[in-house]
A and B are shown apart, each in its own frame.
Chain A
Amino acid sequence: MSSIFIVPLIQFLVGVLLFIALLHGQRDLTMLALLVLGITIGARLWSRLSLSGIRCSSTVDKHKLFPGESLALHVNAENAKFLPVWVQMSVPVEGALGPSSGEMSFTGECGLLWYQQARFNWGIVARRRGVYRVGPAHMKVGDLFGFFPRERRTEDDIHVIVYPRLVPLKPFSLPRRDFFGVPGAKSPVHDPIYIMGTKDYQHCCPARHIHWKASARHNRLQEKVFEPSEQGKVLLAVEVSRFEKGNLSEDFECTLEVVGSLAVQSHQRGYALGLVTNGVVEGGPSILPMGTSPQQLPSILEILARLKMRANANLADTLYRALELPWGMSCVHFSYGQDEGTLASAQYFLHKRIPTKFMVCSSCATCEGDGHKLGGKVYCLDEIRIKEARKA
């Protein structure tokens, strides 16, 4: 409640005072009582008209960010009428999005004169991975005293995607199966099928690599530059069941941080990437086919951001049912530990002859013993993650 003078009991008492003042001919007191009562009645009428012509819109400067980064939330309020109004704006913000330093909440007030606009600016810091809703903005509009506010909830809410935190990783080699061994420029064997471009001919190179048409066009000898013989293809598989059973949310987050970081590292190396998970991905697919497009990495990070610690199927079933696997693919499988689900996935990869590395969250002591069951090397997350010194 903004004022005690809008309480009916207080208004009654002011009415009594008015009566006494009139009885004793007290002009000052009569005037004050009339002013108080007049203002409350006037404010009520003013408030009824206040909502018309009020417009509101919210925007953020970015929709996707990493934990620790901040975004700017702008809410515009416009009074498209002659009557000045008082506006209180509050924006509900979900979960791990918090106000940046100096602010306590996403609430602000201001007065709007005729045909005036106001802009509320707040800084929001993302603290944890996830998809969060910002808004819809909740407006209270009323008379200039703000005694009788009327509420309006705007329609436009904004979704902010917070990717998993990227952590530094130790050098990590993927198991490969290539026709020509080491791919790319280092390879002694060039793949003659895929020509990337041309360059000036070097006399040490074989003559069969000369691009005659390009040489004729440039009027000097040009040789073909070939694409790498084989591009690395990495499938990232995330098994969620054990995390869910043990309610191991912190371990789950750590795992996703490593998955995201490995995806970024692999993308920087020019690998084709794909992702499969048996977890619930809210508002997105749980399988992302292998691809090399520039959008592939953001798509993987977005799936990781949307991924819940809730399994909706067996990972092996998902793999059998839905995934088309290209030749020459490697896989990195992430799970909490080695359980039946992991063994089933391992059987699938063994059957498809896909070289696989298994990453488990549990301690290294448990990794060593059962590695052979999985048909591949089992690593702990700690083995590939470089531990960062905690900020004081």
Chain B
Amino acid sequence: MRKDRGVLLFLAHGGMELTWLYAWANFLTTSIVHRPFPLPEAIGTFLLAAALTLILRGMGLRVISVLGLQVLGVLLAASRIVYTMQYRAYPYFGKGWLMEFLGRTRDPLEWLMLVIILILALFFWLGGVTLARRSTAYFTICSRFDLGVTAFLCLLLVKLLLLVKGGIEVRDPAPELLLFPFFILAPHANLWVN
């Protein structure tokens, strides 16, 4: 029972984090790269990071080994996100997209896009790592709830400012879709607090 509660708490807590993180990531990529951030890859990166951290924590490995595995995980997740966003035409397990990615000359805007995608991939990875390491005490959950609501508020305010002051409308349905899951998962996270 206690283990089940732990799993449910982990899922609810993780879901809360993922909603506002994805809302921001999708807003940034939609407004700058003009492509939505891939949701399955975002969830996969987040969960892989959390799972890897949880598994490695109990194994008693050397710091350098843990660091190496984490870097490997980040590279894998980032490669998948970059592939999904830019090289969908090639098969993922082929050399083609990798040769294209490494050999291609980019203008500054393309470099900026790549850097933003990689930073967002890193954010999702770090989000997963910190989720696995964070305490699941009641006040921690509450502070994450506050952070999530504030993140949503800031995102929507930025969208409003862009529209009112700059006349730029970012067509990004993610915040609207993710608000409800966030507010449904938040009380569940509190319900399963141990």
Contact = CB atoms under 8 A, between A and B. Distances in A.
Contact of A86 (B164, B176, B190): B190
A319 B118 CA distance: 87
Contact of A24 (B138, B163, B194): B163
A187 B138 CA distance: 71
A5 interface: yes
B92 to A, nearest CB: 34
A81 to B, nearest CB: 15
Interface string B127-168: 000000000011100100110010011001101100110000
A32 B179 contact: yes
A31 B152 CA distance: 11
B98 interface: no
A363 interface: no
B194 A3 contact: no
B24 to A, nearest CB: 13
Contact of A110 (B149, B163, B164, B193): B193
A279 interface: no
Contacts of B179: 28, 31-32, 35
Contact of B183 (A2, A21, A39): A39
B137 A109 contact: yes
- Counting chain A CB atoms within 10 Å of each CB, which of B5, B146, B191 scores highest? B191
- Counting chain A CB atoms within 10 Å of each CB, which of B5, B137, B138 scores highest? B138
A280 interface: no
Contacts of A39: 183
Contacts of B139: 2
A132 to B, nearest CB: 27
Given A24-B164, A145-B187, A109 B138 contact: yes
Interface size class of A (residues with CB under 8 A): 20 to 34
Interface in A249-306: none
A146 B142 CA distance: 9
B175 interface: yes
A4 interface: yes
Contacts of B186: 145
A60 interface: no
A113 B191 contact: yes
Contact of A35 (B137, B138, B183, B191): B183
B156 A111 contact: no
B83 interface: no
A29 B9 CA distance: 28
A28 B176 contact: yes
B190 A146 contact: yes
B159 A28 contact: yes
Given A31-B179, A32-B179, A111-B190, A26 B156 contact: yes
A21 B145 CA distance: 22
B194 A110 contact: yes
Contacts of B156: 21, 26, 28-29, 32
B153 A17 contact: yes
Nearest to A84: B191
A252 B176 CA distance: 70
B176 A146 contact: no
Interface class of chain B by DSSP:
helix
Contacts of B176: 27-28, 31
B192 interface: yes
B145 A145 contact: yes
Nearest to A86: B190
A169 interface: no
Contacts of A21: 156, 160
A39 B159 CA distance: 24
A38 B194 CA distance: 27
Contacts of B191: 84, 86, 111, 113, 144
Contacts of B152: 32
Contact of A20 (B149, B160, B188, B192): B160
A5 B149 contact: yes
A36 interface: yes
- Counting chain A CB atoms within 10 Å of each CB, which of B139, B163, B176, B187 scores highest? B187
Interface string A105-118: 00011110100000
Contacts of B149: 5, 32, 36
25 contacts: A2-B139, A20-B160, A26-B163, A28-B156, A28-B179, A31-B176, A32-B149, A32-B153, A32-B179, A36-B149, A84-B191, A86-B138, A86-B191, A86-B193, A109-B137, A109-B194, A110-B5, A110-B193, A110-B194, A111-B190, A111-B191, A143-B187, A144-B190, A145-B142, A145-B145
Interface of A: 2-5, 14, 17, 20-21, 24, 26-29, 31-32, 35-36, 39, 84, 86, 88, 108-111, 113, 143-146
Given A2-B138, A145-B142, 5 more contacts: A14-B153, A24-B164, A29-B160, A31-B176, A84-B191
* CB-based closest 6 A-B pairs: A111-B191, A144-B187, A109-B138, A29-B156, A2-B142, A109-B193
